[in-house]
Chain A
Amino acid sequence: MSFSRLLTLLTVLVMLLFLASLVTGVAAAGPGESFRALVFGDGGPLTLVMREIRLPRALLAVMVGVSLGLSGAAMQGLLRNPLAEPGLIGVSASAALGAVLALQTGLAAAFTLALPMAALLGALAGVLLILLLAGQGGGALGLILAGVALSALAAAMTSLVLNLSPNPFAANEIVFWMMGSLADRSFAHVWIALPVMAVGWLALANTGRGLEALTLGEDAAAAMGTDLRRLRLMVVTGVAASVGAATAVAGAVGFVGLVVPHLLRGAVGGRPSRLLPAAALGGAALVLAADIGVRVILSGRDLKLGVLMALVGAPVFLHLIWRMRGQT
């Protein structure tokens, strides 16, 4: 399949799933009726549901999916490792620390956006630390080790806060938040995440050429005119901004950044620069599909997006490893 054909196919898939997401929900209304209410707006409750609940939810699914897919492709390209994923540099763990601090201090209860904003700040602070630790030379290994250290530190501090918490519900809330979900989000979440994500997408979209050269290793890439420090900075800040914002509004949604680039690598001929847009669209499709799944499979039981993703993602990943045996 040609590259442009693949992108067209994925775009159509994302559009279809987006429409399907808009008509999925507890409010009993047919598709035609729903879209009429969305577009023309009769001022009734269905218009409110479509415009204030389902539309932001579908938009967030696309934004989160694009962020995770794109970041996964970029991380795997930078580290030249198909097992790399966006959470590796500690973004998700630092975002969780920010969130738990917001819950703990009562800020989250004070206003709705306090939680995502605190999570975003946590992610950005974590990444500043990563850049300080691994920004100067160090190579891929230094980046991975710094990420592991940061994840461990953020997880330890999250545990400490919960451990000392006088509020018995804090642990409960943070556990549910960590499961990842797009339920009950509003346009406020879209607007807080979109600018930060857009900065991240832009940074990652510019890494294609460098990632191509990195196919041959760091030494060869440097001699081919790639500025490795700049490339590393672009990927780390791009992943931090987009995944930090995604985690802030949707909690921790795993496996997308790992599985999507993996599934699409063969279709783009292994080329890291082509994997970026393909994985972005593939991520959007997967998150949209999973978010439809959580509403259909156990409707009324608030099945968490991250839980479903891991339940489906882990066996798919095992299957991939099973098929890859003996090929490498």
Chain B
Amino acid sequence: MTDTASKPGQTEVWITGIGLATSLGEGLDANWAALSEKRINVDEKRFAPYIVHPLMPVSFDSQIPKKGDQRQMEAWQRIGTYAAGLALDSAGIKGNKDILSKIDMVVAAGGGERDLNVDTGVLTAEAKGANAPGFLNERLMSDLRPTLFLAQLSNLLAGNIAIVHGLGGTSRTFMGEEVAGADAARIALARIASGESDIALVGGSHNGERKDLLVLYEFGDFNLKDKFAPVWARKDHAGFALGSAGAFLVLESKAHAQARGAKPFARLTSVVADLARRKQPGDMAATLEQLWAKLPRREGKGAIISGATGAEPATSEEHSFLKGHADFPVRSTGTMFGHTMETQFPLGIALAALSISRGALFPPNDSTGTEIEMQGAPSQIVVVGAGHWRGEGMALVEAVG
């Protein structure tokens, strides 16, 4: 098990910036308002029978002023570059060359956004008999846009963020679906807590409105079909509804934040992650229990923000783990935002920090009784991220005390 908890003598790490662009809207107020009003944005028609949570349209120009830059990206990169800009704004460091020249970036990314016309064109031509040895080569050489590769490369989300926002520190991209988001936060936290780094931009982005992704997850029958239901109410109709979202955080040592007069949303105390073998029923729940035990929770009101996907058996395993911690009211980001894959964990941390800073957990939105009302302000929120297939992560976000 790998864990990153602030140890005695290690510096406290604050969340000083949050950037959100999601299916519920752009920015903290819009997302908070939608959560408070239990508004969910699902599209059951465009990809029917598959359900997605589409991005609430944003004006990319405001964070990505050059059209040339926008053209060099596909949607997932534009969403992320946009949300990263919001996070830098939120932290008050946008355009601050001194800080941006040293900021450490850890991005959780997928990639591979494809040109469906090219793919379909090749396959239908082959179905009609095109079988010359060089057919695929020739079509790809003539039909692929040269810049598409850069829009597909995983590390080019970070690359675009660096170019558009002028980040000149370091840049690492983690892949590996849901847990990549937890590992990105884990490594950034560890580096700041140990003094290797002062400030980091951490997050991810996902475009859920992609048929190539629907195909990939349909291979495993993971897509939610026909009818939307809250995550906890999908047991007999399992699956996830892909969501579009960008979620970025600015993490900063307390000393660095104080020196520039930055106010924290919350403190990121600990991030832990593991890889359950998931061979037997209960394996994953046991791993979640072990991760829970490693979090340095304190006395005081707590809550859980879960990234449960709705896919089985992972969601039922997580549900059984949650039942053992019923004193922590649960909220599901999967219900509200859909499944945003690598982005789900940073999104969970963002909502935990936002809830703590606003002195309330957002209301439940669930028909099964898994989510219950919470009175008063949470002082600690545990973010749970269990992948639909592999990988488990957990974070403890606390009020700055």
Q: Do A and B come from one complex?
A: no
